[in-house]
Amino acid sequence: MANPIIGMFRIKELRERILFTFGMLLVFRIGAVFPIPGINVTVLKNYFDMGSSSGGNPIVNYLDFFAGGAFSNFSVFMLGIMPYISMSIIMQLLLIVFPSLKKISQEDGGRKKIQKWQRYGTVVVCLIQSFAVTQYAQVISRSTPEPLLNISMFSFTLIAMLTVTTGTMFLMWIGEQITKRGVGNGISLLIYAGIVARLPTAVFELFNMMRRGGSDGINPVFVVIVLVMFVGIVALVVFEQQGQRKIPVNYAKRVVGRKMYGAQNTYIPFKINPSGVIPVIFASSILMFPLQIAQTVGGNVPWLATASRLLNPQGALYNILYVVLIVFFAYFYTQVTLNPIEIAKQIRENGGSIPGIRAEGIEKYLTKILNRIVLPGSLYLALIAVIPTLIQLAFRIPSSIAFLMGGTSLLIMVGVGLDTMKQVEGLLKMHHHEGLVKRGKIRGRNL
């Protein structure tokens, strides 16, 4: 029982949670290869194998990567969980803009009502994106010698919008079930599984390029350099995710009933990156939505085709917008989750104080600390996010490998891994087992 890995599967509750999580992720991966009814799979496969889109179009490659390969398969899960995340962003912004909506969320049962509206909004987003997918199918059909669709375009549009929307809503349900009955955060694990599923294909592609050599291949020295950079980036991400600033708080003696509670010295842990990977996910979702519309409908609308070229993931405009949105959402989400006014109010109500700071100046002090922490943290996130583009341009690394070197994929893999290990470790401690790491001192991150 000294081995925590063996202990995980000897504890009935933990074993059931782990197996349930794997089962749900298996369902997700199986669904990622089932195409939309009416698609000629052979024609679709030949189209992407020839490199007409996936290899030569970085936008489609980008969308397909974060869908775990489901986009190029035209599967029922081709939109993934991103429509739900996009609607979550919109709802968070609406709560800030409209005080009446925020008041509803704070009432009894208000959160459930907000979540219901969020699900309805997700359906609308899915319908819009699924319609764009049908337009992209038309573009592919005009580029192939054989017809891509086995049914009429009108029938395919209705079936595609229905099945793809249903697929995304089913993924939402799977995510909620994993969070409730499994291990880790369900929505995050679905994104994680989609990214990891692309890893074997990316590694295979890299080795093929090394074997070919010449102008079409890649120098093995560059591969070694990139792998060393990958290990270094992972170490830096873990270090940054675990780093925190401790604000000391002293509590005076107080009498509650007939008992006197002694003075306590504690601290408020402010993480270097308080919002975790959320800014990167939000920024990717905000850019991915218009990017997908521009790419799929751009063949029929000239100005959308121009927008698609400007929003190339390897272009300067896209990366500038990406960095700006990451910094914006880092500040935005930090203010939502860590409100200095609320924290200062709780400290004063419980008789606490920060050494060297007057009671009326606590809010200003905490705001100053958060602003100093969030700026370098958000710039660090932005640097990690644009690393794939820099690696791809500098070393001619395939985009499938470059996306794994940094950006959203690396942050999600590291962050979700840390959070899942933290939850497993907590369940092990409940049954008096050692944690997954030495002394069980892993610290989670708010995802």
Three-state secondary structure call for residue 271? strand
3-state secondary structure of 249: strand
Alpha-carbon span 308 to 299, nearest angstrom: 10
Q: What share of the chain is helix, strand, coil (3-state, %, to 5)?
A: 70, 5, 25
**Cα 117 to Cα 198: distance, rounded to the nearest angstrom:** 33
The CA dihedral of 419, 420, 425, 430, to the nearest 10 degrees, is: 100
Cβ–Cβ contacts within 10 Å for residue 408, how many? 24
Fold of 214-447: Preprotein translocase SecY subunit (1.10.3370)
CA distance 170 to 176: 10
Query: Residue 250 corresponds to which tokens in the numbers above?
Result: 């002293």
Closest CA to 193 of 180, 215, 174, 217: 174
For CATH 1.10.3370.10, the residue range(s) in the chain are: 1-197, 214-447
Give the pLDDT of residue 123. 92
Q: What is the pLDDT of residue 445?
A: 44
Predicted TM-score (pTM) of this structure: 0.74
Is residue 20 predicted with pLDDT exceeding 80? yes
Lowest pLDDT segment from 48-62, 141-155, 167-181: 48-62
Nearest to 381 by CA among 421, 420, 334: 334
Task: Kindly report the CATH number that applies to the domain delimited by 1-197.
Answer: 1.10.3370.10
- Provide the 3-class DSSP secondary structure of residue 136: helix
Spatial separation of the C-alpha atoms in residues 209 and 215, rounded to whole Å = 10
| DSSP, res 256 | E
Is it the case that residue 92 has pLDDT exceeding 70?
yes
Identify the H or E element spanning 267.
strand 264-271
Q: Find tokens 């990156």 and name the residue.
A: 273
Model pLDDT, residue 440: 46
pLDDT over 70 percentage in the chain = 81
Q: What is the dihedral of CA 196, 201, 203, 206, to 10 degrees?
A: -140
Confidence tier at 52 by pLDDT (50, 70, 90): very low
Give the confidence band of 23 by pLDDT, cuts at 50, 70, 90: very high
CA angle 126, 127, 128 (to 5 degrees): 90
Token digits for 59?
């936008």
User: Higher-confidence residue: 413 or 55?
Assistant: 413
Q: 33 and 167 in contact (C-beta within 8 Å)?
A: no
Report whether pLDDT(233) > 90.
Answer: no
- DSSP label at residue 209: H
* pLDDT bracket for residue 108 (50, 70, 90): confident
Helix, strand, or coil here: 321?
helix
Tens of pLDDT, residue by residue over 169-211, are 999 999 999 989 988 888 888 888 888 887 777 777 777 777 7
**Secondary structure letter of residue 263 according to DSSP:** P
Task: Read off the pLDDT of each residue in 314-338 and give the average, rounded to a whole number.
Answer: 82
Contact 144, 47 (CB under 8 A): yes
